[in-house]
Structure 1
Amino acid sequence: MGRRAEREAVDHLLAGARDGRSGVLVVRGEAGIGKSALLEHARDAAGRAGFRVERAAGAESETQFAFAGLHQLCGLLMDRVDALPAPQQAALGVAFGLRDGDAPDRFLVGLAVLTLLAEVAEDAPVLCLLDDAQWLDRASAEVLAFVARRVVAERVALVFALRDTDGPGTDPFTGLPVLRPAALGVTEARALLAAGWPAPVDAGVRDRIVGEARGNPLALLELPRAAEGARLAGGFERPDVLGVPRRVEEEFRLRSASLPAATQLLVLVAAADPTGETALLRRAAGHLGVDDDAAAPAEAAGLVEIDARVRFRHPLVRSAVYRAATPTDRRRAHAALAAATDPRSDPDRRAWHRARAVLGTDEEAAAELELSAGRARARGGVAAAAAFLQHAAELTPDPARRAARALEAADAQHEAGASAEALELLAVAADGPLDALSLARLELLRARIALHLSPGGEVPGMLLDAAKALAPLDAALSRETYLHAIDAASVTGGGHDRSVREIAAAARAAPPAPGRPRAADLLLDGLVTTFTRGFAAGAPGLRRALEAIRNGGRGDGGRADHRWLLLGMRTATALYDDETADVLAARNVRLAREAGALSTLPAALIARSAALVLTGRLAQGAADLDAEGAALMRATGAEPTRYAQLALAGWRGREADTAELTAAGAEDAGGRGAGAEATFAQYALAVLHNGLGDYPSALQAAARASASDDPPTSSLALPELVEAAVRAGAPERAAAALEELTSRAAASGTPWALGLAARSRALTSTGPEADGHYREAIDRLGESRMATHLARTHLVYGEWLRREGSRQAARDQLRTAHEQLTAMGAEAFGERAARELRATGEHPRKRTERPSDALTAQERQIARLVATGATSQEVAAQLFLSPRTIETHLRNIFRKLGITSRRRLRDLPLD
């Protein structure tokens, strides 16, 4: 009753899925408002339309079991798992405990579920119904939210029902399309009350029930059951001030309290077991001496149904029964369930029940939970592992052991993204006693949490303190922590009294790690030397570190360590080592893709995109990778970063976009100081204004960026500062920047560095000397990957030639610059070259539009991958989409390009 708009929304979703347009709805509302009824409508309507319907429901007591909800949803689909690519098969198998292997990235599990659903939908459209999704285990919720954000053309519909909560926390489903069932109006409420309660009801009582129910359908159906018929007819119903869901739950509690003692105990056992397994319930009841026929009164009261499965009338019945039970009865129920659970086939659930049967502390139960945490972590269930460890700490009698377990639980909670819970556990661990190493690890974790929650100026100091504490206890971990502290100070801008140079000075006294130096050791030593003695002194050590990272991490033939790829890429950029930067950036993306590590892939994509901008591939690769990285950040809930967008906007000459991105970054920084993104934004502004010819503004921005403690940004900004200072009439500032750039170029020795130094010398020189420097710059940069700077060198050389009166030579240089800059999309610099060409009397040719210009960034990326011969399944795996979605994009690509086959893509310009 009164649900026309809601039913139409569900029907529209199903119609779209049937026609190949996947979709999702999140039905939110208070308990009893009708969410489950809408899911039933969706099930019935989908059944009539030929859908395959799969269902799952969260249970408040099952949130500690990693991927339990996902397994419940996909269990009957696993007969199609062989159709998935091998990495996805492995990820699902490990997540569901069906095979051994390394813990999979949860988003690779998400891709596997997306592909599995798409495969099943080839036979018939699929509807997935997830009731009480607020109680799904965290791993399942995150995977399903990821799938919901990636469905496009798979003939799949997902409907989640979530109960509104009182807490301020967010959930993974935030941002998905929401449907809120409205409260019933007075007319519909009276009609529902009359239909659900046919006995006479006093008009005054009826109106009060309708008023108290506030349009909540479950309240309208259940509140009259608590009163005797005579009271309903005579107007003597008791008043009640509880909120609607609480009052309905209270009515369920009162109804269950009237049952025989044996029935109450049986229902409590059913409430304590979220699996709904009838055989398990009967075994547990047998341990308590409760007969099977004890269920009859509960079924007659409409609280529970027991046949092939155990089903409660409403989730509020389960919670009402469990909360109303005495602690002693709860422990009895869990003890019976533990005794009835097979320790070989389901050791984790047995350990969980056994732990809840404990009064006080129990080392044996705590140890079992610790083992369960290990198994959960191996399956990729970090949140489940954290919950097991937290409960294990609570049950541990020995204070030192309890503190150690609390520290491990805090680490797992932080890894799972629950940093607030991690801080609470750190407080427990801090009560100790902890040994010196554990105390140092505690401070390190506190710093890591602070870096995650609010990466402000105090975090580098916290990391520095942790590194110092670890130095005499774990030299290797101490050196890694120093490295993180230096990186954090560079990225956040330092702050307070812990600048990057102070941290580097302290790290210089760090004891060496045992054995041969690792890549992290070499990188730390190189950065320490750079920040304490200068760029030229640090460059040789940094080159050795980069060589070690390129060789796999250790540099001594040992196990590969890829944790430093991103920092290595940034360091290579600071050294003007474009080849190493490209290799490390590409490897970082490749390894993240292969591992399905969507927690790290977005940052890898965006870093790779920013690097590609400098090579001139603004459209081919840079914009596409940035779009993919941004989409994955939205899908995974990661904090956005704007490096690639800033680089693209600055080099393209998009003034409004660059200003907007800079302002957005400053607003997000929230007063935390000049971090790496903020100073990189100044670099992008310097490029922008140099392209537009606004040299005073370029000078101001380049000066800020070149003074940054972030090495790659300062290196990139120096040539911008030289050009802006020369053109703005500030020769002293140009000379100072040139001196620093020349020193860095000599220390680097790469064609990129030497080419930039030669161009900058040319800008500050005159006559034949300048001409020689320009020619050297073109030769040097021609040996590098830096197509942007090569084209700009042709531009400034042509500008100089025109002012020297060499019109024909100027035309040659400016024509080359214009063609290269406009082809790569550096529009402001291209227009600058066009103005200079017109000044020589030549009219530059306009760039001809191509059919591929009509493609979106994602379509261009798909087209390029298909053009290399990749199958739809391979492209889908790389882009974390389903093969059917790739096929849909391909149809749009073919239509826009006017072709009919994949083979034709190889012959088209897709840059």
Structure 2
Amino acid sequence: MVDDVSVSQDTFIGRTTELESLGAHVAAARAGQPGLVHLTGGAGSGKTSLLGAFLAGDACRGMTILDASCRPAQVGTAWSTVQALFRPVVPAADRAPASPLFRGAQHALPALLPGTAGEQPPAPTHPVLHALRVLAANLMADGPLVLVLDDVQWCDEQSLRWLDFLLRRASELPLLVVLAQRTEARPVVSGAATAIAARHPVTTIALDSFTAAEVAEMVGRVLPGPAEPSFTWTVAAMSGGHPLVLTRLLRALRTAGVRPGEGEGRVVEIGRAVVAASVREVLGHLPDHVRDVARAVAVLGEESPDLVGALARVPAVLTESAVAVLRRAGLVARDRPDLVHDVVRSAVLQTIGAHVLADLRNTAAILLSDAGRPADKVAEQLIRMSYGTRPWMVPMLRDAACLAEREGAPAAAVRYLRHLLEVKPDDVPVRVHLARLLVETDPSEATLLIKEALTLTLDVRKRAEAAVEFAMACIAVDEPAAAVPVLIEVLDDLDLTLGPGSADVDQELRTLAESALFITGSAERSTIASIRDHIDRMGTLPGHTLERHRLLAVTSLLTVTGDCSAKEAVEQARQALLLPGDALAGWPQMVSALVLGFADEVEESLGALDGVLRYAEEKGAVHTYALALSSRASVLYGLGMIPDAMADARLAAKIADMQPRGKSSRTTRITLAGLLIDRDEPEHAETLLAQIEPLALDRSVWGHPWFLMVQSRARRALGDHDGALRLLTACAESIDETGSANPAFLPWWADTACLLAEMDRRDEAGQVAERGTEVARRWGTARTLGLAALARGVSASGRASVGLLTESVEMLSRSPARGEHARAEHLLGRALFAAGDQNAARRHLRAAADLARRCGALALAKAARRSLIDAGGRMPEITSSMVDILTGTERKIAGLATSGMSNQAIAQSLFVTIRTVEMHLTSVYRKLGVNGRAELRSVPWAQDGDPQIPEWVFVSLGRRRAET
């Protein structure tokens, strides 16, 4: 444990370079090369501690040291600094004249011994200056001399003139002069120390803030135990690297018993108090106009000197010099005209009374507005005012919110609108705008805001706009049914009020409300039939407006659930995506992407979803981002890309759980559960499914049957075939009730046929397979046709089964559904084994295991391996990592290849031939099913991982990563 004394001196820790520089000058002085060092730094920068460490170190051993610290109270006393320097070596007044030290230096006595014989201190005439130089030379007769002056800015003029005189005549003397100056303090003799430095060869050492490495060193010296990087970073951030503040903070942390392994919360709490005290101390030693400028900078932030000066009521010339003083004091950043840290800002603002601060903010807002600064700069002042908003401020806050929204800063836009709502609580457009933003971060609050807005106005247009946002909020909270009656009422009011000949803008508003009704109503089992009938009666949607394309996106999704072909659905989805740019970004683009995914137009589907993700990131739309991740996970799941789908689903769930009253959406949990079953974790999947609220799920058109099918797969994986069959029967009934005939929507019939075949109920399996085949042929994609052949194949037996399953393998191999392809390979291999063709069986079973492993479908891969072993084949144990199928050498070479090393470099590093590297890489490519280095880098080497939430999500939610 470091004691209190050493803690107070720790400010020179990490100043290795500075100490080495001073030591080099001492060595030069010993060799007869005089030197001058100008040491500069703000208050608390560690000048005094560094000088103390230097003088007490080995470098000065055996030298004569004269050191003194100048004091403001002695500025007016002639020769006060010289007297302080020589006091340790000057004998008493009655013995001084006879001392050998004063041989040839008698004229120095009046300057060194004021009041001798009633004399006044002499002027700095040549005899006095020369005598003092002789005195210094006498001291150097026995060895080198080090003269150290701290706080030289308060040195008296006579002493400074002598130092200059001495240095001009110090050639070949063993002398080192060190002048330490506080940079933020104005010198009494203006520019004297600088002038001395300008006239003589000098080394200037500027003591800047500590680096991160130096802060870490101090933390290690003062606090016990190893420090986490985040702890050290917080200490550095709170102190700004300022030596004095850092020393005080570390002492306070040690006194409070804080250990480096603890969280950063206590560092922040204690640091605020330490910084506030240090800031008050620094400001207390500064002139009034500098303090005024500091407060103006605290209010305005990074702004031009003319605005800072106008707010501080200080002339521009003085403003710039005041900022320089504040920078030297460590309050203003070195690279920008703003305070170093928001903690410092808070500390500066605490020195201002509440009324004065309010007046400053009001004046700052007017100055910024008059200067034409962006609305958000003005709004930041307005929302911090403690009294009422004036009329001119209302449009400024509206403009600031719109600007923040466009620039992807929803948290800022929400702050502006909340403040505006406090001023105008009955403003419906403000409520609707605020709710639209909160849908992305706090949809529950958004629904409450819009419910209130609907009661505050009778204007049919405002109600329609509010109802549309209410629908989006209801979708976000998984309660779309709540929006349906509101939208129906609004549409009726629009029809009654506007009439058939209304303006185009009103017709577009009606179309927008209608699309909101369709997207919410089609999600409810009780309303989907009427919604579908309404769409059938609509006919072709003309025009290319945004609202009509949104409506087209909804109808394309309903087409998927109906009795149509994939070609028709794809055509509608593509038409819905015709508008350029971000016009359709959000749920319309996601809906269209899902339709394309159902139709096996995979590249277009994933491309559209990637576009939504980019848009959401640019706009700070957290809910849209999570929903797009969940949608992409569903598409990837259908493609058999289990690790990628798992990463998206997990990230979507983590983001959803971050939001206020947040919980992962039902669709995300169902997707995760299905992925876990394929990962051979059915127990975990059932636990996840059990967390979904059943009442809300029962109403869902999409979620209810999907939940039942995934639950049935979990039951089947756990050996409960009867329970799985009951769930699949319920799934079929749920789909029939909503009229959803599409086989690609939910292939429950393929699961049912396979399950009945396993239960040796092939006749029933055949009936279900025929039903699925009929709708699959109408849809017409390779995936659904391959699943239909698979369902018929497991229902048949003997050569008929082999033929149908062979057809399934061929059809699915042409589809993007790699997981279904692996399943068909497995079933074909088992059928061939049952038919007595062991060689062909092993070939297909091995292909099934390899393909399933590459997909990340561990349950299927393990089942295929067991079947392969039963058929007389051999295969290593299936594990969660694809790397496990490689030998040690293969794994090492593959790792070097993915890092970017060439074959020649790999061969040299492993001391093997290039041919050996090529042979092993060929084996790696074959085992992992990739075609080269580019694909090798994309291999999911480990199935598990904890996806990191992007930093912008924390910003949009107004939170810090540490809070989670």
Using the size of structure 2 for normalisation, the TM-score is: 0.52
Q: Distance in 2 between matches of 1:907 and 1:556?
A: 32
Separation in structure 1 between the aligned mates of residue 725 and residue 214 of structure 2, nearest angstrom = 57
Please list the CA deviations of residues 173-204 of structure 1 after superposition, one character each: whole Å capped at 9, or x if unmatched: xxxxxxx9999798999xxxxxxxxxxxxxxx
Q: Distance in 2 between matches of 1:743 and 1:552?
A: 29
Q: Distance in 2 between matches of 1:765 and 1:306?
A: 79
Which of 408, 418, 439 is the aligned partner of 1:380? 408
Question: Which residue is equivalent to 2:150?
Answer: none
Q: What SS does the corresponding residue of 1:843 show, helix, strand or coil?
A: coil
Matched residue SS, 1:715: coil
Relative contact order higher in (CA < 8 Å, ≥ 6 apart): 1
Whole-angstrom CA distance in 2 between matches of 1:765 and 1:571: 32
Q: What residue in structure 1 maps to residue 814 of structure 2?
A: 783
Please state whether the residue corresponding to 1:785 is helix, strand or coil. Answer: coil
Kindly provide the amino acid, as one letter, of the partner of residue 443 in structure 1. A
CA contact (8 A) 1:519 1:553 kept: yes
Residue equivalent to 1:521:
551
AA at the equivalent of 2:465: R
1:380 counterpart SS class: coil
1:667 Cα offset (Å): 1.9
What SS does the corresponding residue of 1:673 show, helix, strand or coil?
Answer: helix
Question: For residue 751 of structure 1, what is the aligned residue in structure 2?
Answer: 782
Matches within 5 A, 1:425-824: 426=450, 429-430=453-454, 432-433=456-457, 435-452=459-476, 454-455=477-478, 458-463=479-484, 465-466=486-487, 469-470=490-491, 472=494, 474-486=509-521, 488-489=523-524, 498=526, 500-501=528-529, 504=532, 515=543, 520-528=550-558, 535-536=562-563, 539-540=564-565, 543-550=567-574, 553-554=577-578, 563-572=587-596, 574=598, 577-578=599-600, 580-589=601-610, 592=613, 599=622, 604=628, 607-616=631-640, 618=641, 622-624=642-644, 626-627=646-647, 630=650, 634=654, 637=658, 641-642=668-669, 645-652=672-679, 654=680, 657-667=681-691, 669=693, 672-673=696-697, 680=706, 682-684=708-710, 686-687=712-713, 695-707=721-733, 715-730=746-761, 734=765, 737-766=768-797, 770=801, 772-800=803-831, 802-803=833-834, 806-808=835-837, 811-824=839-852
8 Å contact 2:766–2:795 — kept in the other structure? yes
**CA pair 431-448 structure 1, distance change in 2 beyond 3 A:** same
Q: Name the CA shift for 1:371/1:898 in 2 (closer, same or farther; >3 Å).
A: same
Gaps of 5+ in 2: 15-43, 54-209, 216-227, 239-248, 259-265, 495-505, 904-917, 924-930, 940-964
Q: Which residue identity does 1:742 align to in structure 2?
A: T
Decide which of 386, 406, 422 is 2:431's aligned counterpart.
Answer: 406
Structure 1 contact 373–384 (Cα < 8 Å) conserved? yes
Give the secondary-structure state (helix, strand or coil) at the position aligned to 2:747. helix
Q: C-alpha offsets along residues 244-278 of structure 1, whole Å, 9 cap, x if unaligned?
A: x9xx9xxx9xx99xxxx999999987775555877
**Structure 1, gaps ≥5 residues long:** 15-38, 49-123, 130-150, 164-179, 190-212, 223-244, 870-893
CA distance in 2, matches of 1:864, 1:551: 41
User: Is contact 1:475-1:513 (8 Å) kept?
Assistant: no
The match for 1:233 is none
Q: Report the equivalent of 1:159.
A: 234
Offset, 1:725:
1.8
Q: 1:278, 1:309 within 8 Å by CA — same for their partners in 2? A: no
Answer with 1 or 2: which has the greater Rg: 2
Shift of residue 731, structure 1, vs aligned partner: 5.5
Matching of residues 223-372 of structure 1 within 5 Å: 273=300, 280-286=307-313, 325-326=354-355, 332-341=359-368, 343-348=370-375, 349-350=377-378, 353=381, 362-372=390-400
- Pick closer, same or farther for the CA change 1:183–1:500 going to 2, 3 Å: farther
CA distance in 2: counterparts of 1:761 and 1:615, whole angstroms: 22
> Residue 354 and residue 650 in structure 1: after superposition, are their counterparts in 2 closer, same or farther (change >3 A)?
closer
Change (3 A) 1:162 1:587: same
SS where residue 786 of structure 2 aligns? helix
Q: Is the alpha carbon distance of 1:441 and 1:854 closer, same or farther for their aligned partners in structure 2, counting shifts above 3 Å?
A: farther
Indicate conservation of the 8 Å contact 2:481/2:520, yes or no: yes
Partners of 1:765 and 1:386 lie apart in 2 by 62
- Assess, with a 3 A threshold, how the Cα gap between structure 1 residues 838 and 743 changes in structure 2: closer, same or farther: same
Q: Decide whether aligned partners of structure 1 residues 820 and 265 sit closer, same or farther in structure 2, where only a CA change above 3 A counts.
A: closer
Q: Deviations over 1:787-828 (max 9, x none)?
A: 43344334434544555xx312x6414531333234432444
CA distance in 2 between partners of 1:591 and 1:728 (Å) = 44
Please identify, of 714-723 and 331-340, the stretch whose mean Cα deviation from structure 2 is larger.
Answer: 331-340
Residues matched between the structures, number: 641
C-alpha separation in 1, matches of 2:726 and 2:251: 56
CA distance in 1, matches of 2:272, 2:937: 64
Gap change, CA 1:719 and 1:159, over 3 Å in 2: same
Is 1:843 matched up with 2:873? yes
Equivalents in 2 of 1:188, 1:742: separation in Å? 72
Contact conserved, 2:646 with 2:672, CA < 8 A, in 1? yes
Are residues 279 and 733 of structure 1, via their aligned partners in 2, closer, same or farther at CA, if it must alter by over 3 Å?
A: farther
Measured at CA, do residues 699 and 262 of structure 1 come closer, stay the same or move farther in structure 2, by a change above 3 Å? same
1:364–1:343 distance in 2 versus 1, CA, 3 Å? same
Query: Sequence identity, in percent?
Result: 17
The one-letter amino acid paired with 1:696 is D
Q: CA deviation at 1:469?
A: 1.9
Answer whether contact 1:127 1:158 (CA < 8 A) is retained: no
In structure 2, C-alpha distance between the alignment counterparts of 1:802 and 1:906, rounded to whole Å: 37
C-alpha contact (below 8 Å) 1:778/1:793 kept by paired residues: yes
| Residue 427 of structure 1: how far off its partner (Å) | 6.5
Q: Distance in 2 between matches of 1:410 and 1:682?
A: 34
Q: CA deviation at 1:760?
A: 1.7
In structure 2, C-alpha distance between the alignment counterparts of 1:305 and 1:568, rounded to whole Å: 52
- Residues 510 and 388 (structure 1), Cα distance of their counterparts in 2 relative to 1, 3 Å cut: farther
Shift of 1:360: 5.6
- Checking the alignment, whether the CA contact within 8 Å between 2:805 and 2:824 is kept in structure 1 is yes
Alpha-carbon distance in structure 2 between the residues aligned to 1:380 and 1:550: 28
Distance in structure 2 (CA, Å) of the matches to 1:867 and 1:554: 44
Pick closer, same or farther for the CA change 1:726–1:821 going to 2, 3 Å: same
2:354 and 2:581 map into 1 onto residues whose CA distance is 61
In the alignment, the residues of structure 1 paired with residue 390 and residue 692 of structure 2 have an alpha-carbon distance, to the nearest angstrom, of 47
Cα distance in 1 for partners of 2:896, 2:626 equals: 18
Cα RMSD (Å)? 6.3
Partner SS, residue 807 of structure 1: coil
Question: Match of 2:781, as an amino acid?
Answer: T
How big is the shift at 1:623? 1.0
Q: 1:727 to 1:476 in 2, by over 3 A?
A: same
- Superimposed CA distance per residue, residues 441-489 of structure 1 (whole angstroms, 9 cap, x where no aligned partner): 223323433443x42xx43331463265247452331233134314644
Measured in 2, the distance between the counterparts of 1:643 and 1:128 equals 50
